[in-house]
Amino acid sequence: MDRGVGVLLLLGAAHSLNHSLFLVLPPLLEIVSSDLGASYQTLGLIVTVSYLIYGLGSLVGGPLADRVGEVRIAQISIALAGASTAVFLLPKSVYTLGAGLWLIAVWASFYHPTSNTLISRLYEENTGGAMGVHGAAASLGQMFTPTAAFILGVWMDWRFPFVFFGLLSVVTGLAMSRIPSPERSRERSAPVLEIIRVPNIWILMLFNVFVGLFFRGVELFLPAFLSSNRGFSGQEAAVANSIVLLVGVFGQLVGGRASDRYGPSRVVIVASVGILASMLFLLMPLGFLGVAAFILVYGVALFGHQPAMTALLGRVAPRSLMGTAYGVMFFFAFGLGSVSTSIAGYLADTFSLEVAFWIMALFAGGILLIALLIPRYVRDRIET
């Protein structure tokens, strides 16, 4: 397979499925809660642990990519994460749900640092644009997941969508053997502490912690919030979640192109403004117009910042240590930031989902404050 759009589309499919395995639960959250007799706080805790595993595993996936090869590790990650959904064929219980999500998280955790390292090495001249295509292809695939998961879950059983997307993941993992492997540096992979000592990389890691604190809580509880607090039916909430991902396709492409043209730091700042604004649209008493504005602004801003941030880290981190650097970044976002699902679940059970989403809005404010500091510590280093 040529190093071109074909590689990015195949990686985009893998990227989509990597997230889809976690996107099955949110639109079915109320059904799962009722079926298993589990509170939002319990489900939030299960998801927190799965994302913590997802983040911790990225610390392993990054160094493995540096040592073994990006293509091989990405292929193993997608195929075995998909195979792990076989756990959902066991009798259903809270324990089965937890075991299934945690096992998926173990294998899925290797993907992000591996794929981003691969793209950074294959597309050195237009990294931001390539990251954007990779993310957009993923968003295009993901946008069907909430609606498909809800329909399949209601039609058959809430466990069936997990197995369905698991089978697709296994097939995609096998197809990834066609991706060419780039030449790897012969230098050793660095331990995590060596990456953290890279000058000024701490500000990027702090930014990703707040992104995780914000995004994970919103992602898990958005369909339930729209159903309980904004009058949407379960299917309408699932469709709204899908539309967010559709808008995210545009956001990924725009964010990637803008990153190459204007510099990733500027794109991250603009996107952070949009993230905070989207939450205010959702939470203010604006009715359907507020939800519509949230979907459009949130989709563009949240997904638009991703290629810019990954490109920015790719320029800061030493080339030979890139896999480890991406692993550390995703640990901060997916691992440390994962506690937001437990926080949101506790707030929803104790107070209301409305209160939980206002706390997520505070995290969005933190994202913007940190983004404004990034240009002081990290230079884009692009041609003007």
In tens, the pLDDT along 23-47 reads 999 999 999 999 999 999 999 999 9
Q: Percent of the chain, pLDDT > 90? A: 54
Query: Mean pLDDT over residues 71-79, rounded?
Result: 93
pLDDT score of 6 more than 70: yes
Q: How many residues does the chain have?
A: 384
The tokens describing 83, both together, are 């195979």
Question: Higher model confidence: residue 187 or residue 89?
Answer: 89
Q: What is the 3-class SS of the chain, one letter each residue?
A: CCCCHHHHHHHHHHHHHHHHHHHCCHHHHHHHHHHHCCCHHHHHHHHHHHHHHHHHHHHHHHHHHHHHCHHHHHHHHHHHHHHHHHHHHCCCCHHHHHHHHHHHHHHHCCHHHHHHHHHHHHCCCCHHHHHHHHHHHHHHHHCCHHHHHHHHHHHCCCCHHHHHHHHHHHHHHHHHHHCCCCCCCCCCCCCHHHHHCCCCCHHHHHHHHHHHHHHHHHHHHHHHHHHHHCCCCHHHHHHHHHHHHHHHHHHHHHHHHHHHHHCHHHHHHHHHHHHHHHHHHHHCCCHHHHHHHHHHHHHHHHHHHHHHHHHHHHHHCCHHHHHHHHHHHHHHHHHHHHHHHHHHHHHHHHCCHHHHHHHHHHHHHHHHHHHHHHHHHCCCCCCC
pTM, entire model: 0.77
Task: Please enumerate in sequence order all residues whose Cβ is within 8 A of that of 312, keeping only pairs 6 or more positions apart, or say none.
Answer: 204, 259, 264, 265, 268, 374, 378, 380
Best mean pLDDT range from 226-235, 275-284, 341-350: 275-284
Tell whether the model's pLDDT for residue 359 goes beyond 80: yes
Mean pLDDT of 125-135: 74
Residues 6+ apart with CB under 8 A from 165: 17, 20, 21, 24, 82, 85, 145, 149
* pLDDT the model gives residue 2: 45
pLDDT at 79: 96
pLDDT of residue 63: 76
Mean pLDDT, the chain, rounded, equals 87
Residues 6+ apart with CB under 8 A from 118: 11, 65, 70, 71, 74, 179, 182
Whether the pLDDT of residue 323 is over 90: the answer is no
Rounded to the nearest 10°, the torsion over CA 254, 258, 264, 270 is -70
At residue 332, does pLDDT exceed 90? no
pLDDT computed for residue 189 by the predictor: 52
CATH number of 5-175+191-377: 1.20.1250.20
What pLDDT does residue 9 have?
81
**Contact between 120 and 126 (Cβ < 8 Å):** no
DSSP string covering 142-154, please? HTTHHHHHHHHHH
Distance CA 24, CA 154 (A): 12
pLDDT at residue 185 is higher than 60 = no
Residue spans of the domains in the chain: they are 5-175+191-377
Q: Is 90 exceeded by the pLDDT of residue 302? A: yes
Question: 286: helix, coil or strand?
Answer: coil
User: What are 76-129's pLDDT values in tens digits?
Assistant: 999 999 999 999 999 999 999 999 999 999 999 999 888 877 887 777 767 777
Predicted local distance difference test score (pLDDT) of residue 271: 97
Residue 384 — pLDDT band, cuts 50, 70, 90? Answer: very low
